[in-house]
Amino acid sequence: MSGPLILFLAGVMLAPAAGESGDVSCFHCHSKQVQEFTKSIHFNKNISCTDCHGGDVHMNGTAVSTGSMLANFTGVPARKGITQTCSKCHGEAAGTYRESIHWQELERGVAIAATCTDCHGAHNILPSTDANSSANPENVPLLCAGCHENKTKMSAWYYGIKTDRFDTYKRSYHYKALQSGGKGLATCTDCHENHNTRNETDPRSAIYQANLPDTCGKSGCHSSNSAQVYGGKVHEGQSVGLYFIDAKKLVTYFYIVMIVFELVFTLGLISLDISSKFEVKRRG
């Protein structure tokens, strides 16, 4: 289906979604966003642009005039306002999110703290069961790594999150099995929860030490051996910090250098021994 035809159909379908027969005309200026939106779960559920952005749904015509969208138009919500917008339909999830560390940091003024659209997308939101959804379990590790492997973002939060969480998770059985085609294996949200992610020092956190047996012992995980996971590592081979240096990597590199030095030194001695023997024979 060609792009213009998609845009025409989007314009026709967006208006009835708002209860009107007129032309909402968002596609005249926002063709890229409309194309993304037509593939989203919201579009399939008859949610329209105006449900999130406001605006005058009574206008008609083939082009948008300067003031045609001013009535009740909210535009792009501020980052703290995104949750309010989403809560109109997703009240329970939004309420849970407001208990999370992400919302707390957003409230504290950390503008880069994750909000709804950072995890679910904006116009191209897909159900988590869709393999192309950013919230699909198999895509969650890369989604979370987008922030949690970013040293600039993590340093701006000032509460000590290490930026090797995805790297250390990749060494674990969970990730290796997931990459091998395993299903139902633990990803970030299985341990940290999704909307109500909390700091590990919070007694209500799923990864608070006393709560690990229940977290790891959830149905479908380690329910029969939950007592054995108490106090275990959440990530495989966590980094050891020495000031601002990763001490584990430092030790690893030290041993690599020492092994190479020993090999070169040993081979050098052998070469000298062989050459000296040849020199003795030559002189003899």
Q: What is the dihedral of CA 61, 64, 68, 69, to 10 degrees?
A: 120
pLDDT computed for residue 63 by the predictor: 46
pLDDT computed for residue 185 by the predictor: 82
- The tens digit of pLDDT for each residue in 189-240 reads 989 998 999 988 899 999 888 888 888 888 878 875 544 554 445 576 655 5
pLDDT computed for residue 216 by the predictor: 85
Triad 156, 157, 161: Cα angle to 5°? 110
Question: How far is 135 from 41, CA to CA, in rounded Å?
Answer: 13
Q: Is 13 helix (H, G, I), strand (E, B) or coil?
A: helix
DSSP string, 96-159: HHTTSHHHHHHHHT-TTS--HHHHH-SSS---TTSTT-TTSTTTHHHHHHHHHT-HHHHHHH-S
Instruction: Find all residues with CB under 8 Å of 99, minimum gap 6, and list them.
Output: 196, 198
- The tens digit of pLDDT for each residue in 261-279 reads 999 999 999 998 888 888 7
Triad 111, 113, 118: Cα angle to 5°? 105
pLDDT computed for residue 217 by the predictor: 83
Question: How far is 99 from 95, CA to CA, in rounded Å?
Answer: 7
pLDDT computed for residue 76 by the predictor: 85
DSSP string, 35-89: HHHTTSHHHHTT--HHHHHB--TT--SSS--TTTT-TTB--SPPHHHHHHHHHTT
Q: Is 25 helix (H, G, I), strand (E, B) or coil?
A: coil
pLDDT computed for residue 228 by the predictor: 54
198, exposed or middle or buried, with CB in 10 Å at 0-12, 13-18, 19+? buried
Residues (pLDDT < 70) of the chain are: 1-25, 56-71, 156-160, 224-234, 236-248, 284
Q: Are 125 and 90 in contact (CB under 8 A)?
A: no
pLDDT computed for residue 265 by the predictor: 94
pLDDT computed for residue 19 by the predictor: 34
pLDDT computed for residue 133 by the predictor: 94
**Three-state secondary structure string covering 212-281:** HHHHHCCCCCCHHHHHHHCCCCCCCCCCCEECCEEHHHHHHHHHHHHHHHHHHHHHHHHHHHHHHHHHHH
Domain ranges of the chain: 1-76, 79-239, 245-283
Q: Are 34 and 124 in contact (CB under 8 A)?
A: no
Q: Are 15 and 21 in contact (CB under 8 A)?
A: yes
Q: Are 103 and 84 in contact (CB under 8 A)?
A: no
